[in-house]
Structure 1
Amino acid sequence: MSPRERSKTYEIAEVEAKLQAELPHWYFEDGWIRRHYRTAGWKSTLMVINTVGHLAEAAWHHPDITASYAWVEVRLMSHDVKGITDRDFALARKIEEVVHWQPGLEGQSLTGTPDGDQRFAYIKYDKPKA
C-alpha cells in the first residue's frame, strides 16, 4: 500500500459505517474516533494508558488520551492529514484487542484476573452484544 493510499481520509458517513461494523464501542465526534474505557481505579487507568502508549509508539501513530481516576478516553485522528484514515482504524482495533483481552475466557492455562474481588479489579469489560 502506497503512502497516498494509507493517508486516504474517510468521509463522516464512511467513518460511522466502519465504526458500526468493525468497532461498535468507538464513536466519531469532533473529527476524532473515540473510545471511553471504564476501569476499576487509578492503577487500572494507568495500565490502560501505558498499554495504549506502547501500542501507539510501536505503530508510530499517536492518540490523544484523557484520563481520570476510573476512566480513560482515547482519541484517534491522523494528524498529518487532519482526518480519519486506515491507520486510525488499525490502531483502534489493536487497542480493543489488547485492552479487552480476557485470557480466562479462552479456556487455556492463563486464568485472567479473579472475579468478585475488588483488590484485583481491572477493566470494566463490555457486556457481549446479544
Structure 2
Amino acid sequence: MMRGNSEPQSSYSDDAVINYLAEHLPNWYFENGWIRRKYKTHSWKGTLMVANTVAHLAEAAFHHPDMALSYAFVIVKLKNHEAKGITDKDFALASKIEQVIMWQPGLEDSSSLPGTPKDPRFAYLKYDNKTSC
C-alpha cells in the first residue's frame, strides 16, 4: 500500500487475528474486537515513559490506539474503526510498539549500548519472557 493511501482496508476474521498474534505477537491478545497488550511497569514514571513512546509511534504512523494508564501498567488497544475490525495497520503498529518498548540493548551481544542497569532504582518496565517480533 502506498504511503498516505486513505483507501479502506479489509479486516481479518477473528480466527485469522488469533492465529497471527500467536505466531507474530505472542504477548498480545484479541478481546472484544481489539488486539491488546498490557505492559507492566515499576512506577508512574515507567507508565508515562511507555505511554509517551506508544503515543509517538502512533502519531508517526497516524494510527491511534486507545490506552488505559495506571500506576503499574499501560494497556494498549488497537483496531481500525473505519474497517470495523483488525487490519494490517493494527498488526504493523503493534509490531513496532512491541519492538521499541521491549528493546533491551544490553542483552544484544553486538550492541555497544549497555542497556538499563540491573539496579532496581533504574527499572521502569517489567519485561516479559515471551519473545515476539
Deviation per residue, 1:96-121 (Å, 9 max, x gap): 00000001011322111111x22101
1:83 aligns with 2:85: yes
1:12 aligns with 2:21: no
Taking only aligned residues, the RMSD between alpha carbons, in angstroms, comes to 1.6
Q: Which amino acid aligns with 1:113?
A: T
CA distance in 1, matches of 2:80, 2:98: 18
- Runs in 1 of length 4+ with deviation above 3 angstroms? 2-6
Contact map agreement 1:113 1:122 (CA 8 A) in 2: no
1:34 to 20, 33, 36: 36
Deviation per residue, 1:40-62 (Å, 9 max, x gap): 11101000000000000000000
Residue number in structure 2 paired with 1:109: 112
TM-score, normalising length from structure 1? 0.92
The 3-state SS of whatever aligns with 2:82 is coil
CA distance in 2, matches of 1:94, 1:37: 14
Unmatched 5+ stretches in structure 2: none
User: Cα distance 1:58–1:40, how it changes in 2: closer, same or farther (>3 A)?
Assistant: same
TM-score, normalising length from structure 2? 0.90
Higher helix share: 1
Q: How many residues align?
A: 128
CA distance in 2, matches of 1:111, 1:122: 16
CA distance in 1, matches of 2:45, 2:6: 40
What is the aligned-residue identity percentage? 60
Deviation per residue, 1:29-83 (Å, 9 max, x gap): 0110000000111101000000000000000000000010010000000111111
Unmatched 5+ stretches in structure 1: none
Contact map agreement 2:8 2:82 (CA 8 A) in 1: no
Contact map agreement 2:54 2:97 (CA 8 A) in 1: yes
CA distance in 1, matches of 2:17, 2:96: 17
The 3-state SS of whatever aligns with 2:99 is helix
Contact map agreement 2:8 2:83 (CA 8 A) in 1: no
Residue number in structure 2 paired with 1:21: 23
